[in-house]
Amino acid sequence: MPRVAVRIPQIGEGLQEARLVAVLKQPGEPVRRDEPIYQMETDKAVMDVESPYEGTLVEWLAEVDTILPIGAEVAHMEVGEGVQEQVVHGAPAGTGLQAGLETIAASAAGPQMGEGQEGGARNANIPPRTRAYAKEKGLRDEDLARVPVAGGKLMPSDIDAFLAGGLGARTKTEEGYREQQLSQKQRLLASRLQRGNQLVVPGTISVPVLWEGIENLRARIKASGDEFQPSAFTMFAFAVAQALKDFPMFRSTLRGDDTLRTYDHAHLGIAVALPGDELVLAVVEEADTLEWRPFAERSRERIEQARGGKDQANEAVTISLTNMQAFGLRDAVPVVVPPGVATLYLGGSYNGLDPDSEELRMKRYANLALTFDHRLINGVGAAEFLNKVKANVETISTLISL
């Protein structure tokens, strides 16, 4: 079958580049014409990009998070006989990815400033990676013109120094406010949330869970003096991962309007807060296949990567965990971000009355709240899953052997 290239489209006048945010199809999968196959981010928005062809996806030519010039090849597809490859008008000169990147790098060089003006990004070449870093920090092109340059090219370290000096915001003192762009991470999260609001039909249920077993096990591990010191939340996450073995709907996602994809194993998302109230996702791949210690070690590794700013969100993450115990919040209504189908909230632990005791007896509890996509999961299925998580938490010592 003939093979054609899928290229980054020209959307909006003057657009030079876009970032590949997510892929929605895998190599070997059939693709319908006008079906969304990937997401890209421009300066203004994150959007689904539809396939210009009907056929089979052969390969992706760029990694997620790669910044690509308009017209660059992002994938190859096999199509039917007689299908002509579409041309992207307004693309940079050259047909390959490298040619497009070189064009962007060259066009990013700002005009020279006249004598007597302060040096800045206007008299420096701006490498593509610096432009990407600037966008991540919420700086616009006009902001880059104000960044002092230490060397011949504008580098991420120059941007860090600029922001450390509090110069990254645009202030209007006469109106009494200051403005600055949302960071790239927050813009991406906002786009995902907006997409979720359009697609997901949410349902939320909650249940209190006895927390004493996890607290006691955490105390035993701490007293042992072992260098391996997993947190109470990691134990909770392991209890969730074990529950996912028996509930394939929570390992599933809806593709389009009528196709259910169920993954063989669970890729567990964990929300990680960054300074400045930013939020990224750590992902424990195939979490349901891991024994306790490998699970805890991989969770710690992925969370540390997320704290370093690496957002690991991908289309295979069907359920995510959010933890507010450190803030003492008991209850919340979590939101679902597609293609995920559920988000499970863990609230702060507290002393509560034992409802099964005839005497006034206090026990340690924590509240769980599960929001699920009602398009795939109904109330009974959600309740059975949440009760399985509850049972695993309350018998955690049978799942984790020291």
Q: Which pLDDT value is given to residue 92?
A: 46
Q: Which pLDDT value is given to residue 112?
A: 35
pLDDT in tens, 285-333: 999 999 999 999 999 999 999 998 888 888 889 999 999 998 989 999 9
pLDDT in tens, 49-96: 889 999 999 999 998 878 888 889 999 999 988 888 887 655 544 444
Q: Which pLDDT value is given to residue 69?
A: 87
Q: Where would I find the H helices in 200-331? A: 212-224, 232-243, 292-307
> d(Cα 271, Cα 318) in Å, to the nearest integer?
13
> d(Cα 353, Cα 344) in Å, to the nearest integer?
24
Output Rg (C-alpha) for the chain, integer angstroms.
25
Measured at the alpha carbon of residue 120, what is the angle toward residues 119 and 121, in degrees to the nearest 5? 145
Q: Which pLDDT value is given to residue 102?
A: 42
The segments of the chain whose pLDDT lies below 50 read 92-124
Residue with structure tokens 């970032």? 19
Q: Record the pTM.
A: 0.65
Q: Which pLDDT value is given to residue 101?
A: 41
Q: Would you call 55 helix, strand, or coil by DSSP?
A: strand
Domains of the chain, first to last? 3-104 (2.40.50.100), 118-179 (no CATH), 187-399 (3.30.559.10)
